[in-house]
């Protein structure tokens, strides 16, 4: 005669706590890496936008025989941006909402500057001339 036990298998509280602790440890390791990667990507995007603005500004100056102290306006360099002539799409990924609150064009002889570079302080090379 066999005794039939109705035994349910389940995880113990200790096993669940160990799994939760391991997941917490992995999250603690991974989250700072994601934040660093995001900041780095924002800095690189900002630098690329500044390169595009500077190239457009230089092209405008060459085609219009401008001196290094001449300062182009947003409308002057818009045709050279290349994004369907829509310079309003060029915004700083570190919190800018428009071109005007993201970048200063400056004159032809000076590199453009990111106004939002303070949000990228971990990356001081973001054109703080």
State the average pLDDT over residues 43-47.
89
State the average pLDDT over residues 10-37.
92
Is 95 part of any domain?
A: yes
Say if CB 70 and CB 61 are below 8 A apart: yes
Q: Return the sign of the alpha-carbon dihedral for residues 48, 54, 58, 61.
A: positive
Is 98 part of any domain?
A: yes
Is 96 part of any domain?
A: yes
CB atoms within 10 A of CB 102: 21
Q: What is the pLDDT, as a whole number, of residue 26? A: 94
Alpha-carbon distance 70 to 24, whole Å? 56
Residue 33 has pLDDT above 80, yes or no: yes
The boundaries of the domain holding residue 54 are 13-120
Residue 42 has pLDDT above 90, yes or no: no
Q: What is the pLDDT, as a whole number, of residue 54? A: 93
Structural domain count of the chain: 1
Query: pLDDT tens digits, residue range 52-77?
Result: 999 999 999 999 999 989 999 988 99
Is 129 part of any domain?
A: no
Q: What is the pLDDT, as a whole number, of residue 11? A: 85
Query: pLDDT tens digits, residue range 66-112?
Result: 998 999 998 899 888 876 777 888 888 888 788 888 899 989 999 99
Q: What is the pLDDT, as a whole number, of residue 120? A: 61
Alpha-carbon distance 111 to 113, whole Å? 6
Q: Are strands 103-104 and 113-114 parallel, antiparallel or unpaired?
A: antiparallel
Average pLDDT of the chain is: 84
Is 116 part of any domain?
A: yes
The tokens of 24 are what? 């917490």
Q: What is the pLDDT, as a whole number, of residue 89? A: 81
In Å, how far from its chain's centre is CA 35? Answer: 11
Is 83 part of any domain?
A: yes
């Amino acid at each position: 005669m066999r005794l039939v036990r109705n035994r349910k298998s389940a995880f113990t509280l200790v096993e669940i706590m160990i799994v939760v602790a391991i997941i917490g440890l992995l999250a603690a390791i991974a989250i700072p890496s994601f934040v660093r990667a995001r900041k780095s990507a924002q800095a690189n995007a900002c630098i690329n936008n500044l390169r595009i603005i500077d190239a457009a500004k230089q092209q405008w100056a060459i085609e219009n025989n401008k001196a290094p102290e001449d300062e182009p306006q947003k409308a002057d360099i818009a045709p050279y941006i290349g994004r369907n002539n829509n310079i309003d799409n060029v915004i700083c990924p570190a919190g800018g909402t428009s071109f005007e609150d993201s970048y200063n064009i400056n004159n032809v002889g000076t590199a453009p500057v990111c106004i939002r570079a303070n949000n990228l302080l971990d990356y001081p090379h973001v054109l703080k001339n």
